[in-house]
Amino acid sequence: GVTVSSPPLTARLSVDPMAFIIAQPPKDEIVSPAAWAKKHVEMHDQYGYEGHLRLVNQQWNNVMAWSDYETRKLYEDKILKDREREIRQIIAADNVRIQEAHEKALRAANDRARVLAEEVSELKRKLTTQEELAKQFEQLKHKHDEARAKAAETDELQEELVRVKAQMVGEEAVTQMREQITQLSSEKGELERRISDLQTQHTQHIQQVERESQQKLSRAMDQAKADLELKIRALHESSELKLAEVTQKSQAETKQLEQQSRALREQLEKARSNTNKVAVLERDLQAARDAKTKADQDTQKVHKESCALREALSKADRRAEEVSKALQGQQEAKHQADKKAAEFQERLRNVESAGAELRNAVETHQRTAEQYKQSLEQHKKAAEDQKRAADDLYRRMEDKYNTAARELEGKAKDLTDLQKKCTELETKLAELERAMPQPSGAAAAAAAA
């Protein structure tokens, strides 16, 4: 009593193996095929797919009307149940195969998701490394501040010492200091060049890591998309080829079965006419036997009539034997016709079951294709979300790294300059002390004062 939704009947006539039944009206209704198809559409629009089944059932009853009760009972009790069991087994095998393919695709998607998760973990590890570098930078900054304070005190002392030594040494000391300053400037340029090279190498390494991660992600997405598209295309092609082959075979067998059905109907009409003749002959035989009985009773009275009746009786017996032989031949012909009719019904049932099986297979393949499309879209969305998250994480890490690198570079440069300056001043101080002449006692006392 449940109405099953289905596509319009006119859309299924081109692929339905039952089209030879749907498109032809029953023999007992004088309507055109176009009017009969219109009636199908009206019943389908009014009652849904149940109305379509009603008309098909009516036509099937018209086809089965000339068959005997035993054939229909055999079909309903054994052949139909066996065929339904085979169809259920085929459907179960298709479901298992589709489930295995779906699980295989799901495992592949999980593997790719795991690879992406590992790449994200690698990016997180790099981010942790950058945070550790930032902590080290804070420590270096603290040490740099302490060194700057000490350097400021050293600068004041060295400036005072330089002024004293400059007054004492003279022109030669000034020349040496200028040469040393020039040498230190050249060393400073060399160090700056090395720092620039290191920064360039670091930037190139970051760009290479980014390109590799993007290439891996794109390759994984392309591979997953190609695999799923190949599976979907293979399923569609196999179902379309199978549908075309079964449709052609069913059309050819339908034409042949219609010809055989017409021949069998003609033979049945002939057998019925012969059966009527046999009934007439049986009545004649019974009348002859009655006449023989009467002749036996009147044998003594009418000997001549008795002899004539005996001759007629012998002729009637011979005729009865001939009629019985003809009747036996007609019964054998009827038996052969029944066998051919049973074969015709069996082949017709095979065609119908093949059509139903093919429709179920096509619907199953269509549902499987829709499931694969949905899973592909879900995988695409998940991969895009993971890619966006990875890109955002990478951009944040890159921004933090660039900021920390710039700050670290500036502070390292300041620290390097201070260290260079301290080293330069200490060197100059030592050289001035070595070059300074020893003062006399009075001069030393005056200097000390």
CA distance 171 to 210: 59
Same domain, 71 and 199: yes
Question: Which value, in Å, is the radius of gyration of the alpha carbons in the chain?
Answer: 55
Do residues 123 and 17 share a domain?
Answer: no
Q: How far is CA 121 from the centre of its chain?
A: 29
Q: Are 218 and 365 in a shared domain?
A: yes
Nearest Cα to Cα of residue 47 among 113, 79, 3: 3
Tokens linked to 244? 């075309």
* Domain-embedded: residue 396: yes
Q: How many whole angstroms separate alpha carbon 65 and alpha carbon 256?
A: 20
Q: Looking at the domain assignment, is residue 138 inside a domain?
A: yes
For 24, 319, 449, the CA distances from 28, given in Å and listed in that order, are 12, 40, 146
Q: Is residue 247 part of a domain?
A: yes
Q: How far lies 406's CA from each of 154, 391, 395, 401, 411, in Å?
A: 28, 22, 16, 8, 9
- Examine the domain organization and report whether 87 and 142 are in the same domain: yes
pLDDT of the residue at 448 = 52
Q: What is the number of alpha carbons within 13 Å of residue 435 lying toward its C-beta? A: 19
Domain that includes residue 426, residue range: 66-431
Two structure tokens written together for 101:
């393919």
pLDDT tens-digit readout, 117-174? 888 888 888 878 877 877 877 887 788 778 777 777 777 777 777 776 666 655 665 5
Residues 61 and 73 grouped into a single domain: no
Largest CA distance in the chain: 206
Q: Which of 50, 65, 80 is the last residue of a domain?
A: 65
Q: What's the confidence (pLDDT) of residue 115?
A: 86
Are 113 and 86 found together in one domain?
yes
Q: Cβ(424)–Cβ(154) under 8 Å?
A: no
Predicted confidence at residue 12, as pLDDT, reads 41
Distance spanning both ends of the chain, measured CA to CA:
125
d(C-alpha 446, C-alpha 434), whole Å: 21
**Cβ distance 369 to 236 under 8 Å?**
yes
Which are the contacts of 275, defined by CB distance < 8 A and separation ≥ 6?
330
Examine the domain organization and report whether 88 and 122 are in the same domain: yes
State the pLDDT at residue 438. Answer: 58
Are 175 and 48 within one domain?
no
Would you state the pLDDT for residue 66? 44
**Nearest-10 crossing angle of helices 303-435, 171-297:** 170
Distances (CA, A) of 40 to 23, 162, 240, 356: 9, 116, 26, 19
Residue with tokens 């569609």: 236
**Amino acid 243: pLDDT:** 65
Domains contained in the chain, number: 2
The predicted pLDDT at position 6 comes to 44
Does any domain span residue 437? Answer: no
Residue 382 inside a domain? The answer is yes
Select from 306, 385, 376, 359 the least CA-distant residue to 117. Answer: 385
Query: What is the reported pLDDT for 7?
Result: 43
Per the listing, tokens 């599976």 go with: 231
Contact (CB, 8 A) for 184 and 339: no
Examine the domain organization and report whether 127 and 37 are in the same domain: no
Instruction: Please report whether residue 444 resides in a domain.
Output: no
Q: Is residue 327 part of a domain?
A: yes
The torsion angle over the Cα atoms of residues 370, 373, 377 and 379, rounded to 10 degrees, is 110
Identify which of 346, 351, 118, 369 has the alpha carbon closest to the alpha carbon of residue 228.
Answer: 369
Digitized pLDDT (tens) for each residue of the chain, 449 residues in all: 344 444 444 444 444 444 444 444 454 454 556 666 777 677 777 777 777 677 667 666 655 544 555 666 666 677 677 777 887 888 888 888 888 888 888 888 888 888 888 888 888 888 788 778 778 778 877 887 787 777 777 777 777 777 766 666 556 655 676 677 777 767 767 777 777 777 677 667 767 766 776 677 667 667 766 776 776 677 666 666 766 776 677 677 767 767 776 776 777 677 667 667 666 766 766 776 776 677 567 667 756 765 666 676 677 678 777 777 777 777 787 777 777 767 767 776 776 776 677 677 667 766 776 776 676 677 677 767 777 776 777 777 777 767 777 777 777 777 777 778 777 777 877 777 777 655 555 555 555 54
Single residue among 19, 37, 65 that ends a domain in this structure? 65
Q: Quick check: 130 and 401 in contact, CB under 8 A?
A: yes
On whether both 58 and 204 belong to a single domain, the answer is no
Distance CA 107, CA 127 (A): 30
Do 186 and 56 share a domain, yes or no?
no
Inside any domain, residue 445: no
Q: Residue 190 and residue 370: Cα distance in Å, rounded?
A: 66
Same-domain pairing of 31 and 60: yes
